[in-house]
Amino acid sequence: MEQNLQGKVALVTGAARGIGQAIALRLAQAGAELALCDVQADWLTETAAQGAALGRRAACYAADVSDGAAVQAAVDAVLKDFGRIDILVNNAGITRDGLLARMSESDWDRVIEVNLKGTFLFTRAVTRPMMKQRAGAIVNVASIIGLIGNAGQCNYAASKAGVIALTKSVAKELAKRNIRANAVAPGFISTHMTDQLPEEVRQAMLAAIPLARFGSAQDVAEVVHFLASDAAAYVTGQVVSVCGGMVM
């Protein structure tokens, strides 16, 4: 089946850096035009420039994903500029880690608002345009923490478990309109933060990974590309763990 995304428009949230940037550029490499969203549009200039260097149209949109009016305005602007949205990647997310006994309500609320409500808002906003097209692919970036939990991350775990449940419900609702919804659940992904961890902490993390290495943002992007493409035309409501075998 075809993994070429030529002629398709991909809306990627949290696209300024890290996993979101890698996903956007992988979709661009496959032929997709890019609608890039982040809380501050000026953060997106590097991603947009790299997308343009690949010969793709790339436009930037500022939106707080937890603000319903801002999300709808961003989606309306994308539709005005591009005429359609074929792929939505809900990648925007934050952490506010802390032990349950000491976690503030504001830290709980903000993580839920960005990670879960933001995914809901963008998904809701693209639903009608995709239904009219009778086609679309939604890929939500969850986490293995949403599958197994993690001490000190009850807010993050709850938000990502919610994203997984939301994904499955959306897949059931929209399947009749040929709209697919799937999730990826990254494990330990190599970032600047993990590079700065003490060696003993890094080794303890690696010991839990059968493939004995951290993942890369590109590892996640490759799976998102597959799920967004026609090669995954018979895949919906699924959660693909990209974790080196940590969750089996």
What does the alpha-carbon distance between residue 187 and residue 27 come to, in Å, rounded to a whole number? 21
CB-based contacts of 161-169 (< 8 A; 24+ apart in sequence): 162/112, 162/115, 162/116, 163/90, 163/115, 163/116, 163/119, 164/140, 164/239, 166/116, 166/119, 166/120, 166/123, 166/140, 167/138, 167/140, 167/142, 167/237, 167/239, 168/237
* Helix, strand, or coil (residue 16): coil
Neighbours of 9 (CB within 10 A): 22
What does the alpha-carbon distance between residue 190 and residue 18 come to, in Å, rounded to a whole number? 10
- Given 108, 156, 188, 214, which residue is catalytic? 156
Task: Yes or no: say if 179 and 221 are a contact pair by the CB < 8 Å rule.
Answer: no
Is 61 assigned a catalytic role?
Answer: no
Q: In what order do the strands lie in the sheet with 58-62?
A: 58-62, 33-38, 9-13, 87-90, 136-141, 179-186, 239-242
Residue 33: which of 63, 50, 11 has the closest Cα? 11
**Residue in this structure with the two tokens 């991909």, named with its chain if needed:** 10
Task: Yes or no: say if 139 and 88 are a contact pair by the CB < 8 Å rule.
Answer: yes
Please identify every residue annotated as catalytic.
156
